[in-house]
Amino acid sequence: MSNAIDLDLQHNDPSFANVWQELQWRGLVHVSTDEAALERSLAEEKVTYYCGFDPTAASLHLGHLVQLLLMRRLQLAGHHPIGLVGGSTGLIGDPRQSSERVLNPRETVAQWVDLLRAQVERFLSFEGENRAVMVNNLDWTSQLSAIDFLRDIGKHFRVGTMIKKDIVAKRLNSEEGISYTEFSYQILQGLDYLNLYRDHGCTLQTGGSDQWGNLTSGTDLIRKVEGVSVHAVGTPLITNSDGTKFGKSEGNAVWLDPELTSPYAFYQFWLNTADADVVDRLKVFTFKTRAEIEELARSVEEEPYKRQAQKVLAWEVNSLVHGEEATEKAIAASAAVFGRGELTELDAETLDSVARELPGASVSSGALQVADLLVATGLSESKSAARRTLKEGGAYVNNEKVVGEDAELGPGQLLHGRWALLRRGKKHLAAVTVEA
């Protein structure tokens, strides 16, 4: 990833009296502790808050982006953020709905801690009076003995309460059950909050609503040990209007790391947002004002064919995550692929991203008939169908119409000596990668 994103934003949308009201309008509050007290605290004080990210993979994904942008909104409103990367909780993993997690090697988790920390840091400012702080919970849990952990922390947790937590209850009723390791995860997260309260005066934790049981383990622990009421906010799980899980496409996560999800693919993901979902996405994932979003909502209603809201969404989120330069390249690639720009002007990295996103085929160099390539890429069902398309003038190579049923793809037509984009008609696209 590139360097930290530009944090020079004004958080003064006149539509809202305070940041809590804005969070509610944006649909970012699904559940919370004492709402009135929390709104009052955010309006009258400079609150220290934290969100934790476990290194269970080499990158954060779209679900984490909700939390990163929530942290940024609160910091822009003057509050003090703490980004936590779970070097210890990442060694265990929070309970999943389906089954036990596979425990990753310590060395792998340590590497992932560094990667995730760099991603989190890009969304926070480390300058000024409310500069951010980064922590690793391995720093305090590694110093605890098992006896100290059980005596000083474990004694404050009641098993009856712990097994009522939603995810724990579901796992207990499943065939696989739940191990003591994952069952204990909520105690470790509670310890994190207690430690941050003691060391930094942290009084607010944010996370997804599916983590509510873990969030409240910390508020309960601090109340029992310190006699103080602190807060937690659970954001809603983002789903599409048809009920499908947001950010998943055929089981693949949309990652923030450009090596795992390219800026081009990332841009296309947002550009393809359904009309029914785009306004909600603008609220959650951009810093557009209420007035700006309401104007875009009108464009969805009155001129949906222009897809103006989707274009703004794709630009804003891609620029936040990957920077404006990468976004401009993604837009240029998107235009060129559909014949509205020059494919020859795209760099090799961008073309590689495009090729990986399109249906395609890898072929060996040599005499390559376009008809065979149409079949290999799935653009035509058979050689005869491909030849018919060529005869009718419906085939294109790199946006140039192909003439002749026996037309060949020559070396001079390859982009960067390796790729060619095929098109049948106006919308059916595929990529050919020629291996030396």
Q: Residues within the annotated binding site?
A: 50, 185, 189, 248
Q: Which helix (H) or strand (E) holds 425?
A: none
**Residue 387 has which token pair?**
């030849």
Q: Which residue in 402, 400, 381 sits closest to 392, CA to CA? A: 402
Contact 326, 278 (CB under 8 A): no
Distance CA 359, CA 251 (A): 17
Contact 432, 409 (CB under 8 A): yes
For residue 204, report the phi and psi dihedrals to the nearest 5 degrees.
-145, 130
Chain Cα centroid distance, residue 45: 30
> What b-and-e string marks burial along 377-387, b requiring 16 or more CB atoms within 10 Å of the CB?
bebbeeeeebb
Q: Which residue has the tokens 């790391």?
A: 257
Q: Which residue has the tokens 């909780």?
A: 89
Instruction: Decide the pairing of beta strands 395-397 and 252-253.
Output: unpaired
- 20 strand-pairing partners: none
Q: For the CA atoms of 368, 371, 377, 382, what is the dihedral angle to 10 degrees?
A: -140
Chain Cα centroid distance, residue 223: 33
Residue ranges for the known binding site for ATP are: 248
For residue 414, report the phi and psi dihedrals to the nearest 5 degrees.
-75, 135
For residue 335, report the phi and psi dihedrals to the nearest 5 degrees.
-70, -45
- 430 strand-pairing partners: 422
Distance CA 134, CA 168 (A): 29
Residue ranges for the known binding site for L-tyrosine are: 50, 185, 189
Distance CA 170, CA 328 (A): 45
Q: Which helix (H) or strand (E) holds 135?
A: strand 133-136
Q: 224: how many CB neighbours lie within 10 A of its CB?
A: 14
